[in-house]
């Protein structure tokens, strides 16, 4: 476990205010535990209101230093409320860690407009709007950190994960633009890119209604796609060596750097795919990945 020292960047306050979203499970929970162990700082942990009772079961108690606040990242009113409270009581957010998000499992044809909007609202619109809300205080202090938890899916896509990849591609592009905009003000923007993580997070994906029906209907044209991809992703998660704790440690090391990079590869597979995509011609890259898909020869119409 990484020991979290005071940030090396002397421009940050001695007791920075940290706002973390999605703090009751996975990477968010691992980060929450490490931030609470930090010898300095004011920590604001957030989760959906229905998830707040989990904190007590996890042994995380509210205190003067650790705030527990409800926040549905897709709810604009809740975003404004939590940022306004932090501004009024603590002088603003110094470090924003956008971790909350959702992953839909669905081919494009099985995703309706409402589901598509929810995917984008959770992984792109909500996090970037939260960044927008905290930036005025950071600019006024001429320091701050915005850390967006992205994914290897933000640089390459997988079948049945198109909407998720689209949301992460959008987050990557907007964060890169924000990096340029904030650099003159001393505000650092970082994308942390995990690959496959050894956890049960694959069980928390949201199936679109049509995808769920197709998975159960052998006559559906996409049945084989779902039947092949779901256990394939589960196997990749189970053999992965990185854990939520490893990702949390990488985030903390990033916080302690004077000049953090825009993109941080949080797992070895994320770095591998980044290098592969840059080194291999696109046509070859996509052909290789296509051939490696499980049961892909059965995906199309019967011969």
Average pLDDT, rounded, for the chain: 92
150 as an active site residue: the answer is yes
Q: Give the pLDDT confidence score for residue 3 in this predicted structure.
A: 52
Q: Give the pLDDT confidence score for residue 8 in this predicted structure.
A: 45
CATH code of the domain containing 90? 3.40.50.720
Which of 104, 164, 222, 226 does the annotation list as catalytic? Answer: 164
Q: Domain limits at 71?
A: 17-298
Q: Is residue 9 part of a domain?
A: no
Alpha carbons 87 and 243: distance in angstroms, whole number? 34
Alpha carbons 44 and 32: distance in angstroms, whole number? 9
Q: Give the pLDDT confidence score for residue 46 in this predicted structure.
A: 98
Contact between 243 and 195 under an 8 Å Cβ cutoff? The reply is no
Q: Is residue 52 part of a domain?
A: yes
Q: Is residue 216 part of a domain?
A: yes
Q: Give the pLDDT confidence score for residue 7 in this predicted structure.
A: 47
Q: What percent of the chain has pLDDT over 70?
A: 95
Alpha carbons 205 and 160: distance in angstroms, whole number? 11
For the ranges 72-81, 246-255, 275-284, 294-303, the maximum mean pLDDT occurs at: 72-81
Q: Is residue 3 part of a domain?
A: no
274 as an active site residue: the answer is no
Paired residues of 97 in beta bridges: 20, 147
CA distances to 63, 106, 178, 238 from 225, in Å: 48, 10, 37, 20
Q: Give the pLDDT confidence score for residue 107 in this predicted structure.
A: 97
- pTM for the model stands at 0.93
What pLDDT, in 10s, does the model give residues 123-135? 999 999 999 999 9
Q: Give the pLDDT confidence score for residue 176 in this predicted structure.
A: 97
Which of 122, 150, 153, 208 does the annotation list as catalytic? Answer: 150
Q: Is residue 303 part of a domain?
A: no
Length of the chain (residues): 303
Who wins on pLDDT, 215 or 12? 215
Nearest alpha-carbon partner for 38 in 264, 187, 255:
255
Alpha carbons 247 and 22: distance in angstroms, whole number? 14
257 as an active site residue: the answer is no
Who wins on pLDDT, 10 or 193? 193
Which of 168, 175, 199, 226 does the annotation list as catalytic? Answer: 168
Alpha carbons 183 and 174: distance in angstroms, whole number? 14
Q: Give the pLDDT confidence score for residue 204 in this predicted structure.
A: 79
pLDDT at 26 over 50: yes
Q: What percent of the chain has pLDDT over 90?
A: 80
What pLDDT, in 10s, does the model give residues 221-262? 999 999 999 998 888 888 888 999 999 999 999 988 889 999
Q: Is residue 2 part of a domain?
A: no
Alpha carbons 43 and 93: distance in angstroms, whole number? 10
What pLDDT, in 10s, does the model give residues 92-150? 999 999 999 999 999 999 999 999 999 999 999 999 999 999 999 999 999 999 999 99
Domain count, the chain: 1
How confident is the model over 79-88, as a mean pLDDT?
A: 98
pLDDT at 201 over 80: no
Q: Is residue 12 part of a domain?
A: no
Q: Give the pLDDT confidence score for residue 199 in this predicted structure.
A: 76
Torsions phi, psi for 8 (to 5 deg): -65, -35
Q: Is residue 8 part of a domain?
A: no
């Amino acid at each position: 476990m990484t020991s979290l020292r005071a940030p090396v960047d002397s421009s940050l306050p001695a007791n920075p205010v940290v706002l973390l979203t999605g703090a009751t499970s996975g990477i968010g929970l691992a980060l929450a535990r490490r931030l609470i162990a930090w010898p300095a700082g004011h920590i604001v942990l957030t989760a959906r209101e229905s998830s707040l009772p989990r904190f007590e079961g996890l042994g995380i108690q509210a205190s003067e230093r650790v705030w527990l606040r409800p926040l549905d990242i897709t709810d604009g009113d809740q975003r404004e409320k939590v940022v306004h409270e932090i501004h009024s009581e603590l002088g603003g957010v110094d470090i924003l860690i956008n971790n909350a998000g959702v992953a839909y499992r669905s081919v494009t044809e099985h995703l309706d407009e409402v589901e598509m909007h929810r995917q984008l609202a959770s992984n792109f619109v909500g996090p970037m709007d939260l960044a927008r809300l905290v930036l005025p205080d950071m600019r006024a202090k001429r320091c701050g950190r915005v850390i967006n938890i992205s994914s290897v899916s933000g640089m390459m896509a997988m079948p049945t994960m198109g909407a998720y990849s689209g949301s992460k591609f959008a987050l990557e592009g907007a964060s890169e633009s924000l990096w340029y905009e904030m650099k003159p003000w001393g505000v650092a923007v970082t994308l942390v890119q995990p690959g496959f993580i050894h956890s049960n997070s694959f069980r928390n994906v949201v199936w679109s209604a049509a995808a769920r029906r197709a998975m159960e209907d052998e006559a559906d044209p996409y049945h084989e796609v779902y039947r092949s991809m779901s256990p394939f992703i589960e196997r990749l998660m189970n053999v992965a060596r990185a854990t939520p704790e490893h990702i949390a440690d990488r985030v903390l090391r990033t916080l302690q750097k004077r000049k953090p990079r825009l993109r941080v590869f949080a797992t070895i597979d994320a770095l591998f795919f980044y290098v592969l995509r840059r080194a291999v011609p696109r046509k070859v890259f996509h052909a290789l990945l296509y051939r490696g898909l499980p049961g892909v020869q059965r995906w199309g119409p019967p011969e």
